[in-house]
Amino acid sequence: MHEWLHRLDQQFPVRYTVWLLCGIGLLLFSFTFVAFGSGGFAALACLFLVGLGWRDTRQRRHSVLRNYPVIGHLRFLMEFVRIEIRQYFIEADNEATPFSRQQRSLVYQRAKGAPDKRPFGTQLDVHASGYEWINHSMNPSVLATHDFRVAIGAGGTSCTQPYEASIFNISAMSFGALSANAIRALNAGAKKGGFAHDTGEGSISEHHRAHGGDLIWEIGSGYFGCRNDDGSFSEAKFVANAASPQVKMIELKLSQGAKPGHGGVLPGPKVTAEIAAARGVPVGTDCVSPARHGVFNTPVEMMLFIERLRQLSGGKPTGFKLCIGHPWEWFGVAKAMLETGIVPDFIVVDGGEGGTGAAPLEFTDHVGAPLQEGLLLVHNTLVGLGLRQRVRIGCAGKVVGAFDIARAMALGADWCNAARGFMFALGCIQAQTCHTGACPTGVTTQDPQRQKALVVVDKTERVWRFHQHTLEALKELVQAAGLHHPNEITAAHIVRRRADHAVRLLANELKFVKPGELLAAIEGRAAWPHSVFELYWPLARSDSFEPVRSDSFEPVRSDSFEPVRSDSFVPARSDSFEPVRSDSFEPARSDSFEPVRSDSFEPARSDSFEPVSAASLEPVARTAAA
C-alpha cells in the first residue's frame, strides 16, 4: 500500500469506500430529486445500501461484512455462483469435478438423440499414466442387436423366478431424494427400454407404479415399505409389496458408495404424505435410516435372512448391495455362504466414487473402496471359492459411457447400474444443490413449483434414448473387439499405460484368481493367491462381523504398518510399499522390456484371428468352422 493511502486508511478505513460512496450518492440524488424531480429511485437504492452497510457493521455473524460493509456481499455472491462459473467458463472439457464437461455432453447428446460424434481426434493424453484402451480385432464381429441380457437367479438357488435383466440399468435413487416427476420419467423410460429401475431404500411409491417399469426393490436398514411401527421388519408388509409383478428382484442394502457405514435422517418437515405412504412412517416425523441392520448381527444370520426374503417373495432373485470396507467382513460373508450352503442370486458392488446420496465430505472423499478394488475382490473371492457361476455381480460407480461398462465387465461385472448418468439424461446440470431442495432442473427437489420444470413425457424419451444409444455404442465396441457379447470382455482386452510409460494388459497388471484356487489355499493344498486373502481370510468369521482376535496373530513391527510375517516369504523392497512375491517373479527376456509370461493370456494361432483360450481365462466355446 502506498504511503499516502496508508495514512488515509489510518484516518478513514479505505474498505469503507463503497459504503461512503453510497452515502454520497444518497445526498446527490436526494438533492436532484428535490430540485429537479428526478433521481428518486436512485436515492432510494442508495438509501437501502447505506442502511445495509449500517446493518453489516452491527451484525455479529459474518466477520467479512463487519470489516467490509456493502462490498463484502460480493464475496457471498461469487461463492453462490462459483460452481456455475467454474463449469461454464473455467474447467477443461476433460476435468472431472466430479463429471467432466465431455462426459455430461455425451449423456445430453445421446439423451436428446443428437449426434454424439467428436471431430479432430481425442482430447485425452494417450501417453499419460493411467490411459486405457480396448484392443480391437482385425476380424470384427457382426451383432444383430444391442439388447444385451444377463440371467439373474439361474444359479441353482431356491429362486424360481429368474430375471433376464439388461446389462445397463438405473441405480438406486429413492423417491424423496428425487422428485415425483423424476421417478415417473425414469420408470417410464425403463418400461419403454425394457431395463430395470432400482427403487433406492425409500421403497416403492405410487410414482414407481405409475408406468409399470421393472423394479428392483431395495431394502435398507430402515426397512421402508416393510416395517412395523417400531421400525422392525414386517413379513406381512414385505410379502404384500414383493408380490407385485412389477418387482423383479429384491436387493438388501448393506452400504452405499456415497456414504458407507453412515446412516441417514430425512427431517420431519420433509416427510410429506406421499413419502410417508411409500416408506410406512408417520407424516411429519423424522425418518431414520440406521447405520446397520437390526434383523441380523452375523454373516450367517444375514444369509439366512436373504433366504427368508427369497422364500417370502415367491422365489424372486434376491441378493445384496455393498461398498467394500473391512476385507474380513466380506470374507466372513463368503464363509457363511460355504457353511450354510445359501448363496445370493446376485451381489451389487458400489464403488466409493458413488455420489447420489449427500454425505459428509470425509465420507465422500475417504470412506469405501473404489469400484475397481471392490469389484475385483468380490469377483476373485467367488471365483476362488467356486461360487462365481452361481452368483451374478452388478456394479455402480461413475458409469456413464460404453467404455465404462466394458471396463467393469473386464473386471468381473455381469451388468452395470448408473445413477448420475440417468440424472443427466433427466436434465441435471451438476449444480450440486441436490441436498438443498433447490435443484434448478426439478430432478432432486420436493418443491411442487420446481418439479414442474421436469416434463415427464419429454424426459421419458430422453431416459430411453440415453439407454439405447449407450448400448449401441457398447455393441460397436464389442464388434470392434471381435466378440459376441459384452460378458466376453476380459482384462486381457484392456490395456493400461503405467507411470513408467510401459503398457500392460489389465490381466497382467491386476491379480485374477483361478477357479477353486482360494479353496485349495484354505485347505493347505496351494499357496494363497494374493496377500489380501492370506492376511484377512484367517481373521474372518461367519458367526460375527468382528475379526478373529489372537495375541500372537500380528506381532508389532516398527518399520511398517503391515504385520510381521513369520513364514518369511514376503521380503521387503525399497522401491515399493508392495511386498516382493516369490510366487510371481517374472523371468527376464532379451527381446523386450516386458517379462516372459508363462501364464500368457493370448498365445498366437495361425488358423484364426481369435486368441487361443488359456486355462487362466474363462474358455470361449468355438465351433469347428471358427
pTM of the model: 0.82
Lookup: cell for 539: 481373521
pLDDT, averaged across the chain: 87
**Percent of the chain's residues with pLDDT above 90:** 66
Domain boundaries, the chain: 3-80, 149-480
DSSP string, 344-391: -SEEEEEPTT--SS---HHHHHHSS--HHHHHHHHHHHHHHTT-TTT-
Which pLDDT value is given to residue 603? 52
Q: Using the predicted structure, report yes or no on whether residue 253 has a pLDDT greater than 60.
A: yes
pLDDT digit string, tens, across residues 90-110: 777 777 778 888 899 999 999
Q: From CA 152, how far away is CA 158, in angstroms rounded?
A: 12
CA distances from 441 to 97, 171, 426, 614 (A): 19, 20, 9, 51
CA distances from 364 to 177, 184, 290, 306 (A): 17, 28, 18, 29
Lookup: cell for 261: 457405514
Q: Using the predicted structure, report yes or no on whether residue 619 has a pLDDT greater than 80.
A: no
Q: Please tell me which residue, 601 or 154, carries the higher pLDDT value.
A: 154
The domain 149-480 is placed in CATH, from the list 2.40.50.140, 3.90.550.10, 3.40.640.10, 3.20.20.70, at 3.20.20.70
pLDDT digit string, tens, across residues 488-510: 999 999 999 999 999 999 999 99
Which pLDDT value is given to residue 121? 87
Please check whether residue 473 is in contact with residue 109, taking contact to mean a CB–CB distance below 8 angstroms. no
Provide the 8-state DSSP code for 215.
Answer: E
Which pLDDT value is given to residue 569? 41
Q: From CA 72, how far away is CA 19, in angstroms rounded?
A: 10
Burial of 484 by CB count in 10 Å (0-12 exposed, 13-18 middle, 19+ buried)?
A: middle
Q: Interior CA angle at 286 toward 280 and 292, to 5°?
A: 75
Residue 8 CB neighbour total at 10 angstroms: 14
Which pLDDT value is given to residue 94? 76
> Band of the pLDDT at 271, cuts 50, 70, 90?
confident
Q: From CA 495, how far away is CA 504, in angstroms rounded?
A: 6
In the chain, the largest separation of any two C-alpha atoms, in whole Å, equals 103
> Band of the pLDDT at 613, cuts 50, 70, 90?
low
Q: From CA 626, how far away is CA 614, in angstroms rounded?
A: 17
pLDDT digit string, tens, across residues 17-53: 999 999 999 999 999 999 999 999 999 999 999 999 9
For helices 402-410 and 456-480, give the axis angle rounded to 10 degrees.
50
Question: Reading across the β-sheet that carries 132-134, which strands appear in turn?
Answer: 132-134, 494-497, 503-505
Where do the H-state alpha helices sit in 149-215?
Answer: 180-193, 206-209
Which pLDDT value is given to residue 545? 95
pLDDT digit string, tens, across residues 539-598: 999 999 999 986 544 444 445 445 444 444 444 455 555 544 444 444 445 554 444 544
